[in-house]
Amino acid sequence: MEMNYPELYYRIYPKAIDSINKYLKDKPMPANITEDELSYLVDEVYEKLVYECPEIDEDPVERRSRFRSLQRQFYGRRRLARDIITIIIISELLRRFNPYIFGTEYNY
C-alpha cells in the first residue's frame, strides 16, 4: 500500500469518522454546527488518539529548559495534533453536507 499521507493521518481519520457518525446519528442534517460542538468532536478524537499514542500529549524534553523565552515560539505536539484533527473533521463535514464541492464533475 502506498502511503501518501503521514502515519498520523491514518491514525486520526478512522477516529474522526467514528466521532462524526456518532454525532450525526442524533442530528442527521444539522443546519450549522457550533464551535462548542466542533470543539467537543475534536476533544473526543484527541482523547482516543492520546490513549493509543500517549507520546503525543507530552512535550519534547528539550523544550523544557529555563531558556524558553529565548527560543522561538513552539506550539508542541498537542496543538499540532488538535489542528490536524480539526482540519480532518471540518473537511469531512463539508464533504457530507455539500458533496458537490468535492465531486469529480466540474460545472462552469
> In this predicted model, what pLDDT tens digit does every residue of 20-45 receive, in sequence order?
999 888 776 666 788 999 999 999 99
Residue with cell 488518539: 49
Task: Give the C-alpha separation, 99 to 108, whole Å.
Answer: 17
Task: Give the C-alpha separation, 7 to 29, whole Å.
Answer: 31
Task: Give the C-alpha separation, 28 to 72, whole Å.
Answer: 45
The pTM of this model reads: 0.72
pLDDT digits (tens, 9 = 90+) for 53-82: 888 777 665 455 555 555 555 556 778 889
DSSP 68: G
What residue ranges in 1-108 does DSSP mark as E strands? none
